[in-house]
Amino acid sequence: MNTTQVPAYAAQSATSALAPFGIARREPGPLDVEIEILYCGVCHTDVHQVRNEWNGTIYPCVPGHEIVGRVKRAGNRVAKFKPGDLAAVGCMVDSCRTCPSCRAGLEQYCLASPTWTYNSEDKHLGGHTFGGYSTKIIVDEAFALRVPAGLDLAGTAPLLCAGITTYSPLRHWKVGPGQKVGVVGLGGLGHMAVKFARAFGAHVVLFTTSPGKIADGLRLGAHEVVVSKDADAMKKHQGSFNFILDAVAAQHDINAYLSLLKLDGTLTLVGAPPQPLPVAVFNLLAPRRSFAGSCIGGIAETQEMLDFCAVHGIVSDIEVIPIQKINEAYDRMLKQDVRYRFVIDMASLKS
């Protein structure tokens, strides 16, 4: 198969920094779009993967799954896009499309495993997939999203992972008016969760370990902000939440949040710390609490989320960086020093 060499940034091992690296992209097939990548968000998952914190990273690793760009070429059977259109790609570039999950629009739970945008088997070229820290990507139109007009493009990129990963569980657990909803951790995912929970009409309480984020939490839409190290403040909320979304990237005491749920309340993890989180079972037995997880969202729901964002004027709060600052950005993310998503301006990779 014909390929084109494309500049990218890759990690060559779990301990090496990201550095310039050339990758091959396939020629677009009849159902493919070729997207010139304009912006790519920096997800904490990129850090987990690059540093092999979840095990299973294949090197060289080109991360990036919050992609917004412009269609350069479209295969002759592509119906959704034409050259010049904006397009976006999230965490998946394909799935089996026939299993019950895929048929239900839940491609992220494909029984044969979705093809992830990076670090997955590349069914076209062999080897493994490479993500959005590069200047272009070829993707089947079924896994490309339309970008509604009027949204800031750089601020839209993080919606493709941080946005859908928080939108989907808030919708699934039917968060809305009359409910008290907690969000744990004000990072890339957490700040989107605050915006969506507020937009859905819930009473929103943010839990943060960073006292310096209190004002931002309120500005982003939280009705109340609790510094989770403050035991008295935590105690006031015991047994009072319908739903809590936990978006913390590192080890933390999950029991402190389970005990905040009321009868039949649910705590859903979207954060994916590498180590197991011990659960004190008596925190679940009474009053009949649920402890759950959720993984990104399907393609149709991702489109629904983007359209919702356009109607409600929601984008991510971002700091745009050139790709040459990516290693510094990772270090800052680990120090919780990101307000609230780094987004790479991919023009920096061409110049």
Interface mask toward ligand NAP for 306-335; x: CB under 6 A: ---------------------------x--
Site for ligand NAP in 247-286 (CB under 6 A): 247-250, 252, 270-273
As a whole number of angstroms, the distance between CA 52 and CA 38 comes to 27
Question: Binding mask 39-78 vs ligand NAP (x if CB under 6 A, - otherwise)?
Answer: ----xxx--x------------------------------
State which of residues 40, 86, 189, 261 lies at the interface with ligand NAP (CB under 6 A): 189
Which CB atom, from 88 or from 162, has the smaller least distance to ligand NAP?
A: 162
Residue nearest to ligand NAP (CB): 187
The residues that bridge with 241 in the sheet, in sequence order, are 261
292 binds, among Zn ion, ligand NAP, none (CB under 5 to 8 A by kind): none
Closest CA to 146 of 191, 79, 92: 79
Residues 111-170 touching ligand NAP, rule: CB under 6 A, are 161-162, 165
What CA–CA distance (Å, rounded) separates 43 from 63?
A: 9
Instruction: Write the single-letter amino acid at 339.
Output: R
- What strands, in cross-sheet order, belong to the sheet with 224-227? 224-227, 203-208, 180-184, 241-246, 261-269, 290-293
Closest-CA residue to 34 (of 42, 25, 43): 25
> Which of Zn ion, ligand NAP, none is residue 280 near (CB under 5 to 8 Å by kind)?
none
Q: Where are the alpha helices (DSSP H) in 221-323?
A: 231-235, 255-258, 282-285, 299-312
Residues that bind Zn ion (CB under 5 A): 43, 45, 95-96, 99, 102, 110, 161
Question: Choosing among ligand NAP, Zn ion, none, which partner's interface includes residue 74 (Cβ < 5 to 8 Å by kind)?
Answer: none
Q: Cα angle at 47 between 41 and 51, to 5 degrees?
A: 150
Give the bridge partners for 11, in sequence order.
Answer: 61
Q: Nearest approach, Cβ of 70 to ligand NAP (angstroms)?
A: 25
Give the residues lining the site for ligand NAP (CB under 6 A): 43-45, 48, 161-162, 165, 185-190, 208-210, 213, 247-250, 252, 270-273, 294-296, 333, 336, 338
